[in-house]
């Protein structure tokens, strides 16, 4: 039920979301660069919570294939159209969540950008990512860590979420996220936060 409700929210805002400009272009470009350190022309990549596919399309020239999934069919429709318009043939956009992906150690890299703070089952998902990766594979994430959370947002969520006006949002510290990623068995390879209120970028490697 939660996933369906969140999918409705993202479907509702998909067109508007697709027109938003990146807030900090320099930080975004640096995250792309830091991610590509872990990619090769032979990399098989999974991205979950891909939205309208902008990050997957930018990484496409540097890898063999990307499976990019999102629970919003309207987001995926936009992503597919943009990939087609740009002539990108090595990204497959599918309507799915990370929960639907098999744990067969298929991937060299898994990307979860701006998604972990939106998940009700964050710890389970981090464990699932670990199982999806080949030994030596890398999990790259960028996550807004809101701590205890702004008071107005904490008050609004219980009222707005059942109405489909807001998605799931969870409040935790950076140290909590780092501990959860390390607790799943990952080794933190790189951690970077461009500003005190910015999302934290983490590249974590599965031992291999």
- 29-81 pLDDT, tens per residue? 999 999 999 999 999 999 999 999 999 999 999 999 999 999 999 999 999 99
Three-state DSSP at 1 gives coil
**DSSP letter string over 44-79?**
EEEEES-TTSHHHHHHGGGSSEEEEEES-HHHHHHH
Cα 15 from chain centre: 19
First to last CA, the chain: 37
Flag whether pLDDT at 125 surpasses 90: yes
pLDDT confidence tier of residue 161, bands split at 50, 70 and 90: low
Gap between the Cα atoms of 93 and 50, Å rounded: 9
Integer-rounded Cα Rg, in Å, for the chain is 16
Give the residue extent of every domain in the chain.
2-205
Widest pairwise Cα distance in the chain: 47
User: 83: which residues sit within 8 A by CB, 6+ positions away?
Assistant: 53, 57, 60, 91, 93
Flag whether pLDDT at 118 surpasses 70: yes
pLDDT tens column, 164-188: 556 778 889 999 999 999 999 999 9
pLDDT of residue 158: 62
| Beta-ladder partners of 203 | 140, 190
Gap between the Cα atoms of 157 and 171, Å rounded: 12
The topology (CATH level 3) of 2-205 is: Rossmann fold (3.40.50)
pLDDT of residue 1: 47
Among 145, 147, 167, 148, which Cα is nearest to 157's?
Answer: 167
Gap between the Cα atoms of 118 and 115, Å rounded: 5
User: 54: which residues sit within 8 A by CB, 6+ positions away?
Assistant: 82
Query: CA dihedral in degrees (183, 102, 3, 67; nearest 10)?
Result: 100
Gap between the Cα atoms of 74 and 80, Å rounded: 10
Gap between the Cα atoms of 121 and 102, Å rounded: 17
| Beta-ladder partners of 133 | 107
pLDDT tens column, 131-156: 999 999 999 999 999 876 666 666 66
Task: Supply the pTM of this predicted model.
Answer: 0.92
């Amino acid at each position: 039920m939660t996933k369906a409700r969140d999918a409705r929210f993202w479907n509702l805002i998909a067109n508007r979301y697709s027109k938003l400009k990146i807030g900090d272009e320099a930080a975004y470009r640096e995250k792309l660069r830091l991610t590509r350190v872990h990619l090769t022309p032979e990399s098989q990549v999974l991205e979950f919570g891909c939205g309208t596919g902008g990050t997957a399309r930018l990484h496409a020239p540097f890898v063999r294939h990307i499976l990019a999934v999102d629970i919003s069919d309207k987001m995926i429709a936009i992503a597919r159209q943009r990939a087609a318009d740009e002539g990108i043939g090595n990204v497959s956009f599918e309507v799915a969540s990370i929960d639907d992906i098999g744990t067969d150690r298929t991937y060299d890299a898994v990307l979860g950008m701006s998604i972990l703070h939106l998940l009700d089952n964050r710890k389970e998902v981090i464990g699932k990512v670990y199982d999806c990766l080949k030994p030596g594979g890398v999990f790259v994430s960028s996550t807004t860590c809101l701590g205890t959370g702004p008071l107005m947002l904490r008050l609004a969520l219980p009222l707005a979420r059942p109405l489909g006006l807001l998605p799931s949002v969870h409040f935790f510290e950076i140290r909590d996220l780092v501990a959860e990623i390390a607790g799943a068995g990952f080794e933190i390879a790189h951690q970077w936060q461009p500003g005190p209120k910015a999302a934290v970028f983490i590249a974590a490697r599965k031992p291999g």
